[in-house]
């Protein structure tokens, strides 16, 4: 247990960041999965919209520092390729 005030504050900040990161990471997975599931239904317009939403969240995660920019680019590319392949 921390005794120093600055360490107590740092612990609070770390917990807040951890919760924010977990929420954003979970949302990334959900949006990506949704984009693939919509593509499997065959509705190209809805799949395009879901893909755009997922890519937007991936970009936001990279901007906030949750993902490295190269990781974000790779995930977006793979997701787009998978959606295109599913749509046929």
* Alpha carbon distances (Å) from 71 to 20, 26, 42, 83: 19, 16, 28, 18
> How is domain 5-87 classified at the CATH fold level?
Methane Monooxygenase Hydroxylase; Chain G, domain 1 (1.20.58)
Entry pTM: 0.86
Using one digit for the tens of pLDDT, what is the confidence trace for 17-58? 999 999 999 999 999 999 999 999 999 999 999 999 999 999
């Amino acid at each position: 247990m921390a005794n120093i005030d600055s360490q107590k504050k740092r612990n609070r900040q770390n917990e807040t960041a951890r919760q924010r990161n977990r929420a954003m990471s979970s949302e990334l997975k959900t949006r990506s999965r949704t984009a693939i599931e919509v593509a499997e239904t065959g509705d190209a317009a809805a799949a395009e919209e879901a893909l755009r939403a997922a890519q937007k969240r991936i970009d936001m995660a990279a901007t906030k520092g949750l993902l490295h920019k190269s990781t974000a680019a790779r995930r977006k590319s793979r997701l787009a390729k998978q959606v295109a392949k599913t749509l046929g």
